[in-house]
A = this chain, B = another copy of it.
């Protein structure tokens, strides 16, 4: 009696083999037919696993040829997405630290209510966290939550990982996010909380985050000192016929 999904087990197995170097980069994966007999599965199930490999930058499928091993993870792990600072920090070799600078409910007249609680029925709380990397305070994260979806937790939870709290303790599933990256001027708050170190601008990531039922539950601003900001992204060219997949956008 297996709980796990077959195509995920196949995916996991293939990832492990690719990372172990069973096949060289730019070599071919076995064909879909070979894989389906090897894993005792239908071709469609293999294709589900291969789709995952492709989405995550492990292979490139070529019609009539096969699946080529690529290495989108070479330079320094990649891909735009939704990730917590904790997940991120675990992949860094540098020492990191989080300082909870504030944690409180907001006044009802705060602008953020328009976004997170239009009827102002639910309370909204805020947490501000300073991220220290190699003993420099370089990131200021300002998170706003609707109390109805995410009850205000303790400082300890904020110190650890709010996403673990949301996905683990509360059992909610984060589905998607809309993000905007811009460069803004340094604020007084930046100067108070961070080591701005003479910089006059900050890179700001503004995110609207949604649950699986499409309700908006979080708004975040992550303010980065520009010399410590770097975003690595792996992008596939999808159909751009109707709704061009965009990149730098200009106002």
Residues of A within 8 A of B (CB): 12, 15, 26, 44, 52, 55-57, 60, 62, 65, 68, 70, 72-73, 75-83, 87-88, 90-92, 94, 133, 138-139, 173-183, 200-201, 203, 205, 210, 212-214, 222, 224, 226-240, 242-251
Q: What's the least CB distance linking A33 to chain B, in Å?
A: 19
Q: Are A236 and B88 in contact (CB under 8 A)?
A: no
Q: Is there contact, CB below 8 Å, between A183 and B237? A: no
CB <8 Å contact, B235 and A87: no
Alpha-carbon distance A230/B180, docked complex (angstroms): 7
- Of chain B, the residue at the smallest CB distance from A247 is B83
- Contact for A242 among B15, B55, B68, CB less than 8 A: B15
Q: For residue A213, which residues in chain B have a CB less than 8 angstroms away from its CB?
A: 62, 65, 68
What residue of chain B has the Cβ atom nearest to residue A83's Cβ? B247
Determine if A87 and B244 form an interchain contact, defined as CB atoms under 8 angstroms apart. Answer: yes
Most buried by B among A88, A90, A176, A210: A176
What are 13 residue pairs bridging A and B, where the CB atoms are less than 8 Å apart in the complex? Answer: A56-B239, A62-B213, A68-B214, A70-B210, A81-B246, A90-B244, A91-B244, A139-B248, A174-B237, A177-B237, A179-B233, A182-B231, A228-B250
A113 to chain B, nearest CB (A): 19
- Tell me whether B245 and A83 are in contact (CB under 8 A): yes
Given contacts A248-B222, A250-B92, contact A232 B81 (CB under 8 A): no
**A246 touching B62 in the complex, CB below 8 Å, given contacts A70-B214, A181-B233:** no
Q: Collect the chain B residues with CB atoms within 8 Å of residue A173's CB.
A: 237
Chain B residues with Cβ below 8 Å from A55 are 238
In the complex, are the beta carbons of A237 and B76 less than 8 A apart? Answer: no
The answer to whether A245 touches B79, judged by C-beta atoms less than 8 angstroms apart, is yes
Tell me the bound Cα distance from A12 to B239 in angstroms.
11
Nearest-neighbor residue (CB-CB) of A234 within chain B = B178
